Amino acid sequence: MNGHPHTTDRRAPARCPSLKLPEVLDEINMSRAAFYRLRARGQAPKCIKLPNGQIRVRRSDLDAWLTSCEQPPT
């Protein structure tokens, strides 16, 4: 509330930040085609497909996916 007794706070609840696909591709240095190939094989980070067709990836899902890609030192 903002101090007025009859006013409600209309802010959206806090959500885990999500990244647009170009942001993800830039961060992991991967082409869109390569990302979609990984996604088709079920090997990409968990994605959210919005009703408008755009893809988003939660920051936490991308970080978990990157951790899962780590290989032990040789």
pTM: 0.73
* Cross-strand bridge partners of residue 48: 56
Percent of the chain with pLDDT over 90: 70
pLDDT of residue 26: 97
Sheet holding 48-49, edge to edge: 18-20, 55-58, 48-49
What is the band of 9 on the pLDDT scale with cuts at 50, 70, 90?
low
